[in-house]
Amino acid sequence: MAGRFLNFRAAADELGVTQGAVAQQVRQLEAHLGVPLFERLPKGLAFTSAGRSYHVNVATAFEALRNATDQLKPEPGKVLVSVTPTFAAKWLIPNLPDFSAKHPDIDLRILATEKVSSFHSDGIDLAVRQGMPPFGAALNAHLLFRQQVVAVAAPGLVGEHILPVSPQAISSMPKLHDAHDLWPKFLDLLNIEDKGGRGLRLNQTSLAVDAALFGQGVALVSRFLVAAEIATKRLIQITPQSLSGEQDFYLLATRNSKHNAAIDVVVAWFLDQAER
C-alpha cells in the first residue's frame, strides 16, 4: 500500500491505521528482505531500484489473485469483514445466529486475524478496528462500542469476598495478562500494588477470558465482550472501577470501493446489535 501511494499517510488512511503502524511494517519488511525499498523524502517516498522491482512483481501477483477469484465466482451477496480473533469469538460469533435468521441471502464471511487487513489487497468489505478517529478520508467510520475495560473473575475465584471486592483483596488475586498489558494502569486506578504473583500471560484477550471462566485469575476486558457472561453470572465484575480511553471500537467501510447493497445491510445489522 505504501508503494501504491508513495506516502505513509495515504497508505495509513487506506488501511484505517496510524502512519506509524505503516512505517513500522515497512521497516520490518525491509529488515526481513535485507534491502531498503524506499527513500524517505521530506514530502513522501521514492522507490529504490530494488523497491520498484519488488513492488511491480507483488502488485502483479495481487492483481492476478483478485482476477482469478472474480472470474471463478463473482458473488455480489458476499461480504467479507475483518475482525480480531477476540472480537470474533466473544461478540460476533455469538450474535451470528441473529444475522443468519434475518438475512439468509447474504454470505457473511469472517476474516479473524491480528494482522491489519487491507481493503485493497485483501479484498475486505468491512473492518472492525479499535482506535481513534480520523481514520482517513477514504473511509466511513461507525462507532460500535466505547472502550470500558472492567475486571472480571469466576464466582469460584471471588469466593467469600463481599462485592465489590476490596482493592486489597484484588491486589492478592492472580492476574491474567494479555497483549494489551492494562494491569499496570488498572492497579494505579485502584492505588494498589500487585501481590498476586506472576500470573498467567496470554497473547489474546479471548484466551484471558477463557482462563477467567475456568477460575485461573482476574481478567481485564472490554465490558461488551463479556456482557453475556456477566448477565448469566459465569463471570463477576469484581469492582465498579473501569478504564476508559480514546481507543474505541469502530466499523470501517470504504467510500469509493465497488459497493453492493449487502454491505449496507451488514453495516445496519452491526450498528443495531451494538446498540442493543
Residue-wise pLDDT for 231-259, tens only, equals 999 999 999 999 997 789 999 998 865 56
Burial class (CB in 10 A: 0-12, 13-18, 19+), 147: middle
Please tell me the predicted confidence (pLDDT) of residue 259: 65
Pure H helices in 138-218: 155-158, 167-172, 183-190, 205-213
Q: Grid coordinates 525499498 are at which residue?
A: 37
Residue-wise pLDDT for 28-55, tens only, equals 999 999 999 999 988 889 999 998 988 8
Please tell me the predicted confidence (pLDDT) of residue 225: 96
Q: Give, in words, the CATH class of 149-237.
A: alpha beta
CATH code, 78-147+247-275: 3.40.190.10
Please tell me the predicted confidence (pLDDT) of residue 73: 56
Residue-wise pLDDT for 189-240, tens only, equals 999 999 989 889 999 999 999 999 999 999 999 999 999 999 999 999 999 9
* 2-72 fold: Arc Repressor Mutant, subunit A (1.10.10)
Q: How far apart are CA 165 and CA 155, in angstroms?
A: 12
One fold for 78-147+247-275 and 149-237: yes
Per-residue confidence band for 69, with pLDDT thresholds at 50, 70 and 90: low
Residue-wise pLDDT for 170-187, tens only, equals 999 999 999 999 999 999
Per the structure block, which three cell numbers stand in for 126?
A: 468491512
Q: Is the pLDDT of residue 72 over 60?
A: no
Q: Which helix (H) or strand (E) holds 231?
A: helix 227-231
Domain boundary assignment for the chain: 2-72, 78-147+247-275, 149-237
Residue-wise pLDDT for 108-117, tens only, equals 999 998 888 8
Answering whether pTM is above 0.75, one says no
CA distances in angstroms from 258 to 14, 124, 125, 127, listed in the order given:
15, 11, 9, 16
